[in-house]
Copies of this chain bind each other. A is one copy, B any other.
Amino acid sequence: MTHFKLTLAYDGTNFAGYQIQPHQRTVQGVLQKALGKMAKVESIHIDGSGRTDSGVHALGQVVSFDYPGEIPARAMRLAMNSLMPLDIEILDAEIVPADFHARYSAKGKRYLYRVARGRFTDPFKRLYTGHYPYGLDVDRIRTALKDVVGTHDFTSFAASGGVIEDKVRTIYEATVQDDQANNELVFEFYGNGFLYNMVRIIVATLLEIGNGRRDVHDFLRLYEVKDRQQARGTAPASGLYLKEVYY
């Protein structure tokens, strides 16, 4: 038995998300089946660092699993890449201690969000960005991002779900790059954890601030009211990338 950590990139467009579901093409499903093929079993269970929704991409998703048998890390990477469809690439394979768990061992994550600007949608960006056709004052967004950094109750920024849980998270870094060559804004968020849809709701709120539809310090009010209805928008899945998981 060998315990593995794999780091992978995928284009989320043609997956019904990361998590395995019956009769759906999922990242977890494709990986488990490929590992099963290598080990000549039906399937090998893997643990991911977390789910990504349908259409959400990954530049550095991490999964861990027990592989029945001995195989060097380099051979694991090559064998898995040979079994992967074109929309998944195995970037790295490591043999790790048995107590490593892709989700429970994670100390933090970094997400990237690409927003395409301009009046019309670019056909080549539609699957890989969100699109915002209205005016944006990037300085207002930079000011608001300072309110995102820190430890806050993100209840207003979590998609509603039945499970009661602690909604306090710490964001270590929240930045925006004004990529004028590509006519895009590129956001990055690095934190100790993220609630469901949290990055997409934060980005939608930042765009409304940039457009002047919200007060530049509206985040401070939204932390207080703890009401999902107040932060209405959710930026599209297509712009979101799980960039890195930290251990």
A contacts, CB < 8 Å to B: 9-11, 57, 81, 86-90, 120-124, 126, 128
CA distance A164 to B122 in the complex (A): 39
Q: Please classify the interface of chain A as helix (H, G, I), strand (E, B), loop, or mixed, using the class held by over half of its residues.
A: loop
Q: Which of B9, B86, B121 contacts A89 (CB 8 A)?
A: B121
A131's nearest neighbour on chain B, judged by CB, is B86
Q: Is the CB of B120 within 8 A of A89?
A: yes
A124 to B121, CA, bound (A): 18
Q: Are A57 and B124 neighbours in the complex by a CB distance under 8 Å?
A: yes
Nearest B residue to A81 via CB reads B120
A123 touches B81 (CB 8 A): no
Q: Cβ of A121 and Cβ of B86 under 8 Å apart?
A: yes
Contact B86 A11 (CB under 8 A): no
Residue of B nearest to A59 (CB): B124
A-B contact pairs, 21 of them (CB 8 A): A9-B122, A9-B123, A9-B124, A10-B123, A11-B123, A11-B124, A11-B126, A57-B124, A81-B120, A86-B121, A86-B123, A86-B126, A87-B123, A87-B126, A88-B123, A89-B120, A89-B121, A89-B122, A89-B123, A90-B120, A124-B128
Which residues of chain B come closer than 8 Å to A57, judged between CB atoms? Answer: 124
Query: Which of A88, A124, A128 lies at the interface centre, i.e. has the most chain B CB atoms within 10 A of its CB?
Result: A124
